[in-house]
A and B are shown apart, each in its own frame.
Chain A
Amino acid sequence: MADKTLTVGAPGIDVEVLPARGRVVNSKWTRDLLTFLMVFGPGLIVMVADNDAGAVSTYSQAGAQYGTHLLWIVLLLLPVTYFIQEMVVRLGIATGKGHAAMIYQRFGKWWGLFSLIDLEAVNFLTLVTEFAAIHLALNKMGVDPRYGVPMAAAALVFIVLSGSYRRWERTVVLLCLLDFAWFVIAFRVGPPIAQIVKHSLVPTMPPGGITPDLMFLVIAIVGTTIAPWQLFFQQSCIADKRLRFADIKWARLDTFVGACITITAAACMMIVGTASHAHGFRFTDPAQMAVDIGKFAGPLMRNALLLLMINAAVLGTTAISLSSAWAYGEVRGWPHSLQLPWREAPGFYALYLISVAAAAGIVLIPRAPLQLMILGVQVLAGVILPSAIIFLQLLLNDKELLGEHANKPWNNWVNWTIIVVLFILSLILAAQVAAPNLFPSATGGPIT
């Protein structure tokens, strides 16, 4: 953006036509700030939306079971999540295309279809869990889910139908900023700051040492912080927003800010879980935890937590549904942009609508096999994550494709280390969920 310099022409000198909607500023500092604000969005949204209903459940359960002892693991995930998404930023800006299209074009039909089917399946199951969380929270707030869930689904469809990427982005960024309420709640109900700082910076094990339950909760924390849909979502979002090569540093900053906010919010969820446990409550689910906290912190705190839980599910739903719709549209060659009115991209919007409506409908079916779906989410995510990141890594080393934006040797060292660790963790999780008898001493069962 630095080269967009405008000066006023002297008489007799040709003046180029200014871009219709460009903003003229006087200082470099203002220019940089404004540019950042214009680029800001995809990185924040992908990170904050990752703290979805499943994440609220996992982090608060970790706090309720192990107090603040696992905070250092959450902090450790900050660079991991940033480095993975930063690769997506470079790929998205360099190609102007989504991740599904890239896999399809560079690795062929088999991998393209496999990645797409796997993504669509795991995304749909995740959507069901998001609506299950909305159902649960509405119930605790005294709102009939038979009306509340369809209303939430209708609102989710409404925010994408405006035919304006900017309108959608602004709405979602506003919802993301509501996550700051987690900081206030954690500060109000949490343990002393010194304890939080100590357990964030000094790796410690909870009393009782390393047990299978602890191991699986750690895997669940890692799994919920890095999800396959994030790769597809952010790259498609960057392509839809048409970010330019000059925007790379600002898109990186956007991703880093998003990573910091989401990791801090995750730590706050863990702290809130700790507070519930400290008052003698046993963790069953985050909605019940909100009710328990309301008993000592007041009804305002209870309702705030329930609303944050709904907000987390809403953010997760819009991002996940869009990643499905974008990916499918890219592979099928359909028009797939939030900039297009629905008449010009009917397949793209129809897929979004069907995903949201079907997931919302399933949770309203009495005795729907929700537990089976939650289990499916865990296993499929465990299966897809390593392969998705391996493709990302191969694409980022493709000099023919990325040229100077390809990975540097230090990028590869960091990324391959992350991939190996994730591969081992996801293999253990998938094996444990698919064959629980392999780990008989794990009493907690699958962690959601």
Chain B
Amino acid sequence: MMEETKMTTKTDHYVVIHPLDDVPETKVDTESLGPMSMTRSVKLSLMSLRAYLILMVLLVIYHVVILAR
């Protein structure tokens, strides 16, 4: 982001910059963080979610195949 510019003057002005015209700011470096560290309960919950999603997708495919006949 642009640095604040202060000089001797009586009246302040403000510069408003469109985000696309501004200098890109430093964001969180997500790539260096790697995968999220999770507690055992979170891992278990995600495993349950995975099982639920697989079951639901299979159910949908079965239902669509039946309907398409």
Q: B-contacting residues of A (Cβ < 8 Å)?
A: 1-10, 13, 15-16, 18-28, 30-31, 34-35, 38-39, 94-97, 101-102, 105-108, 110-111, 114, 118, 165-166, 241-247, 339, 369, 372, 375-376, 379-380, 382-383, 386-387, 390, 394-395, 398, 400-403, 430, 434-435
- Give complex CA distance A166, B20 in Å: 9
Mark contacts of B11-34 with chain A using CB atoms, 8 A cut-off: 1 yes-contact digit, 0 otherwise. Answer: 111111111111111011011011
Chain B residue nearest in CB terms to A91: B28
Q: A16-B5, A107-B35, A401-B33 are in contact. List 6 more A-B contacts (CB 8 A).
A: A96-B27, A97-B30, A244-B22, A379-B63, A395-B36, A434-B63
CB <8 Å contact, A13 and B27: no
Q: Which residues of A contact B44 (CB under 8 A)?
A: none
Q: Is the CB of B15 within 8 A of A22?
A: yes
Give Cα A107 to B59, complex, Å: 25
| Given A107-B35, A108-B35, A379-B60; A38-B14 close (CB under 8 Å) | no
Q: Which residues of A contact B20 (CB under 8 A)?
A: 165-166, 241-242, 339
Please state if B6 and A5 are interface contacts (CB–CB under 8 Å). yes
Q: Which B residues are CB-close (under 8 A) to A96?
A: 27-28
**Cβ-closest 10 pairs across A and B:** A96-B27, A7-B9, A9-B7, A21-B21, A31-B14, A22-B15, A10-B8, A22-B17, A106-B36, A16-B5
Does B17 lie within 8 Å of A242, measured CB to CB?
Answer: no
Q: Would you give the shortest CB distance from B40 to chain A, in whole angstroms?
A: 14
List 24 contacting pairs A-B, 8 Å CB cutoff, sorted by A.
Answer: A4-B15, A6-B13, A6-B14, A7-B7, A7-B9, A7-B13, A9-B7, A10-B7, A18-B5, A26-B11, A31-B16, A34-B16, A35-B16, A38-B17, A38-B19, A96-B28, A105-B34, A106-B33, A107-B35, A166-B18, A243-B19, A339-B20, A398-B36, A400-B36
Contact A18 B15 (CB under 8 A): yes
Q: Assess whether A434 is in contact with B19, with CB atoms less than 8 Å apart.
A: no
Q: Tell me the smallest distance from the CB of B33 to a CB of chain A, in Å.
A: 6
Contact of A245 among B11, B13, B25 (CB under 8 A): B25
Interface of chain A, main secondary structure: helix
By a CB distance below 8 angstroms, the chain B residues around A242 are 19-20, 22, 24
- Are the CB atoms of A19 and B17 closer together than 8 Å? yes
Interface residues on B, range: 35 or more
If A3-B4, A106-B36, A242-B20 touch, whether A394 touches B42 (CB-CB below 8 Å) is yes
Contacts of B59 in A (CB 8 A): 430, 434-435
- The answer to whether B67 and A19 have CB atoms under 8 Å apart is no
Nearest chain B CB to A172's CB is how many angstroms away? 16
Flag B45-69 by CB within 8 Å of A: 1 or 0 each.
0100110010011011001100110
Cα distance A382–B31 in the bound complex, in angstroms: 31
> Given contacts A18-B15, A25-B14, A95-B30, is CB(A244)–CB(B25) below 8 Å?
yes
Q: Decide if B30 touches A106 in the complex (CB within 8 Å).
A: yes
Q: Residues of A contacting B42 with CB < 8 Å?
A: 394
Q: Within the assembled complex, what's the spacing in Å between the Cα atoms of A190 and B55? A: 45
A21-B14 in contact (CB<8A): no
Q: Are B60 and A376 in contact (CB under 8 A)?
A: yes
Give Cα A5 to B15, complex, Å.
Answer: 6
Question: Residue of A at shortest CB range from B55?
Answer: A383
